[in-house]
Structure 1
Amino acid sequence: MDPMTPVHSAGVLLTIAAVAVAVLLFLIIKLRMHAFIALVLISFVTAIAAGIPMADVARVAISFFSSTLGSVALLVGLGAMVGRVLEVTGGAQVLADTLINRFGEQRASFALGVAALLFGVPIFFDAGLVVFLPIIFSVARRFGGSILLYAIPAAGAFAAMHAIVPPHPGPVTAATELGGSIGLTMLIGLPVAFIAWYVGVYLFTKVYAGKIMVPINDNVLRGSLSGEASDLDDGEDDQRAEDLAAGRAEVAPPAFGLVLGILLMPVILIAFNTGIDTLRKAGTLPEDGVVLDTLSFIGQTPVALLITLLVATYTLGRRRNSLATLETILNDALAPICAIILITGAGGMFGGVLRYSGIGTALSESLDAMGMPLIVAAFVIATALRVAQGSATVALVTTSGLLSAGVAAEGLSDLKIVCLVLAIAAGSTVLSHVNDSGFWLVSRFFGMDVKTTLRTWTVMETTLGLTIFVIALLMWFVVP
């Protein structure tokens, strides 16, 4: 949808944007309004204030809401189903046990983090952390030392994947809003997530966090597994650990090779599409061809995830569960993601209104006048939103909406857009503190007081985010 002709000056439009964001933060932080409701309300109010005709406000807002969901809902839903099938069939336990046995006692925390990185491809931060809790405590009891030596690498791995790599909703929405390639974001995001995790999480743990003695508290573990209420990151619901344990008890554990193959399958398939598209643009491959078109088709992100889900379902789930049980497993995967899908859709609505009204263009022009590069602005804006309201996903979708008009005007390449997505993800990761529900999730699960959580988790999230931003900044000056 083409932007309308602005009815206000750039200064007025920027003032409207600033007030809109301030009111949004007030509604979420002070009035405790649900982020979905707050985003929808602010989208309508901003549209009216910016001069969009009253008769068109609902139509414009809903069109951007639906276009965002068209990209986000399908990918997030399929990814969540893949994660759930792996979860209940014991894939996480097999993955962690195998890697720990191969890496040995001295690198147990590294192996646990790598397992969490792999398992974090399809599964959200909170669900992954709950699934890994018994594994983390088991490894800590086996090898001894502070629980943080094993907890921080695993939790940091889930945080990195949640912020950077599709099909997680934040990076999917950011790539969509900025007009980038979701598949390319995933392919580049995976190695960036590993590097950022190794530097910002694993080394940080070895040098500092792992030396802070936090004893294993079995009461904490039992309390966590009993389904006590907890506030989860970005409004996602907790996965009840009793259900996980029951699901794993009913099935034989899968082979490590099968679990690893399923986790890598969407990456390999997406690489087909990205590689073929790149070679076609370079003139190396012909534009037409049934085989190439087929490989390109199966490598499109939703198709790749659907194929992966079918393979996971019938190699892991179908052979070990009845059709009725399998249906329940897949249904259980969808319930926790409803809130986050609605939040991302509403964030797309807000971003669309900003673009359509001309606010996004005014912002990009003001950033140019200040001499602030887009890559730096992406990090700064996302950081401000993250610190102010706590939610990484809200920071991601709001920042990408604010910058989308400027990105479109610049005509950036897909690689440059990936750099911007990484910079936004970096800003949405740093400085997790008491207004972030993930902060309290980690604090409660691992038996830390607020001071210790600030010294460890908050600092780790900041080193992780800064590492992501440094990588994005270096790429920005290298890629075409």
Structure 2
Amino acid sequence: MEAIDPQYGAGVLLLIAAAAVTLLLVLIIVVKLHAFISLVLVSVVTALAVGFPLGDVPDVLMFGFADTLGAVALLVAFGVMLGRLLEISGGAQVLADTLIGRFGDKRAPLALGVAALLFGFPIFFDAGLVVFLPIILTVARRFGGSLILYALPAAGAFAAMHAIVPPHPGPVAATTILGGSIGMTLLIGIPVAVVAWYVGVYLVSRFLGRRIDVALPDAVLGAVRGRDGETDGDGSGTAPVATRAPSFLTVLGLLLVPFVLISFDTVLATLVSAGVLDEGLGWVGFLSLLGYTPVALLITVLVAILVLRRPSSSLGQITGILDDALGPICTIILITGAGGMFGGVLELSGIGAALSESLSGLGMSLVVQAFVIATLLRVAQGSATVALTTAGGLIAPAVENAGLGNFEVALLVIAIAAGATVLSHVNDSGFWLVSRFFGMDVKTTLMTWTVMETTLGLAAFVLAAGLWAIV
């Protein structure tokens, strides 16, 4: 669906966007209206305020809702299924114990973050988060303290890799639009992402975790059962998956299945876009299908059922376990979809054109301009990927006129990615995933996740700007 021709000037459009975000925050935080209802209501009001024809409003609302729901629902469903199987079999505990043993008890959050950085190279943010969720909760349950200490390092690692490092779609698209080298962006992006994560996520999460106490939620994956089939109080008595916990290598192998499969799609897409492989090859299409994230997670869940179930467990008992995992995520999926609806309305309202008019001719450094444009787009419509691609298109003419090399273009992509990361808030579907998965209300999520995303983006921008000044 295409954006409308705006009826108002850039200033009015930006004021409407600011007013919509303010109204949403008031409804959720002050009025205490349910987040799903608030998001849908504000989406309708915003669509009317920016001047969409009444007959087009339903399509405008469904544009963002359907796209986000289609992307998130399958990932969340298969992810929590896999997470539940790993948890109830003891596999999540085995993985946590092994990582903690290698890094030491005092470095448990660091161990989670490093693992997420490694696995975050080929996998998208939302898919990585749902797969790692049971591991985060298991480690937090074992060592105690605020959940922030364990959740933010892992979630922030996935966010850093997703925004900055190819072959993720945002940096790949921005690099392509700016005419740069994907290989150079990858080469520069990895160390920048790691350093920015350590400074902007890990150190910040330690600071926040000591000051903000977030209790461990117990509703996302269902009640925790012992391996003898006893429950922790819900009385369902669902049979266990395995009589004893799987080995570390088994658990690691299961986690690697989706990452390996998904890497087929992302890596092959990168090679095709770079011209290394011809588009339309049969084997490329087959491997890309296996690497399509929902298909990869489906395959992983089937493998987990085969590997983790004990011989005496029936498929009916396994189905009961998976049903328990699926029940509590309905709210997560709906709120995430509604967040996408709000972001879609803002995206189609002409915000990008308004920002282009507002920032043209300011004379700021190109790397700073890239960061500012991406930041404003991020705040206005929520999606980091949309902010990356849109900001890349807005500064592409200036990049072409400047005749920049691949190294400078890579720094611009990182600056754009930094701006597309900061200030995650209520119009970002990732904000709602983190909020609901970790049982945080909107205010707490703003004080933790939003702050951490901002420090992550600022750290990445400082690194990019520093290198820009040197070259």
Q: TM-score, normalised by structure 1?
A: 0.67
Residue 254 in 1 paired to residue 246 in 2?
yes
Aligned with residue 299 of structure 1, among 270, 283, 291 = 291
CA contact (8 A) 1:175 1:418 kept: no
Q: 1:277 matched to which residue of 2?
A: 269
Judge which range, 33-42 or 68-77, deviates more.
68-77
Judge conservation of contact 2:83–2:134 (CA < 8 Å) in 1.
no
1:471 aligns with 2:460: yes
Q: 1:340 to 1:194 in 2, by over 3 A?
A: farther
Match of 2:28 in 1: 28
Do residues 80 (structure 1) and 80 (structure 2) align? yes
Could you tell me the TM-score, scaled by structure 2's length? 0.68
2:387 and 2:420 in contact (8 A); partners too: no
Asked if 1:375 corresponds to 2:375, the answer is no
Q: What percentage of residue pairs aligned between the two structures are identical?
A: 42
Tell me which residue corresponds to 2:13: 13
For 2:199 and 2:344, the matched residues in 1 are separated by 36
1:144-180 CA-partner distances (Å, limit 9, x unpaired): xxx68xx7653333442575577xxxxxxx969x999
Q: Within 2, Cα distance between the matches of 1:190 and 1:123? A: 23
**Alpha-carbon deviation of 1:330?**
2.0
- 1:427 aligned to which of 423, 429, 440: 423
- The alpha-carbon distance between structure 1 residues 348 and 368, as it changes in their structure 2 partners (threshold 3 A), is farther
Tell me which residue corresponds to 1:90: 90
Match of 2:382 among 388, 393, 397: 397
Partner letter of residue 428 of structure 1? S
Mapping of 1:35-46 within 5 angstroms?
Answer: 35-46=35-46
Using the alignment, how far apart are the partners of 1:397 and 1:244 within structure 2? Answer: 41
Q: CA–CA distance in 1 between the matches of 2:390 and 2:331?
A: 27
Aligned pair partner of 1:265 in 242, 257, 261: 257
Contact 2:76 2:130 in 1 (8 A): no
1:31 to partner: Cα distance: 0.8
How many Å separate the matches in 2 of 1:74 and 1:191? 32
Per-residue deviation at 1:110? Answer: 4.3
Q: Give 2:151's match in structure 1, choosing from 143, 150, 155.
A: 155
**Is the Cα contact below 8 Å between 1:364 and 1:403 reproduced in 2?**
no
Deviates more, 1:86-95 or 1:196-205: 196-205
User: What one-letter code is carried by the residue in structure 2 that aligns with 1:156?
Assistant: L
Distance 1:250 1:359, change over 3 A: closer
Distance in 2 of aligned mates of 1:405 and 1:75: 25
> 1:41: Cα distance to partner?
1.0
| Correspondences of 1:233-244 after superposition (within 5 Å) | 237-243=219-225
Q: How far apart, in 1, do the equivalents of 2:239 and 2:196 lie?
A: 32
CA separation in 2, counterparts of 1:192 and 1:83?
30
Judge conservation of contact 2:80–2:130 (CA < 8 Å) in 1: yes
Contact 1:354–1:402 under 8 Å retained in 2: no
Aligned residues: 411
Q: Which residue of 2 aligns with 1:286?
A: 278
2: distance between equivalents of 1:58 and 1:286?
40
Unaligned runs of 5+ in 2: 121-126, 163-168, 177-181, 232-237, 398-405, 426-433
Superposition deviation, residue 417 in structure 1: 7.2
| Structure 1 segments unaligned to the other structure (5+ residues) | 138-146, 167-173, 215-219, 228-236, 386-394, 430-435, 444-452
Amino acid at match of 2:258: P
Aligned partner letter, 1:89: S
Q: Is the 8 A contact 1:35 1:343 kept in 2?
A: yes
Question: Matches of 1:180 and 1:339 in 2, distance apart?
Answer: 36
Superposed CA RMSD: 5.0
Corresponding residue of 2:400: none
1:334 alignment counterpart: 326
- Counterpart residue number, 1:62: 62
Aligned residue in 1 for 2:51: 51
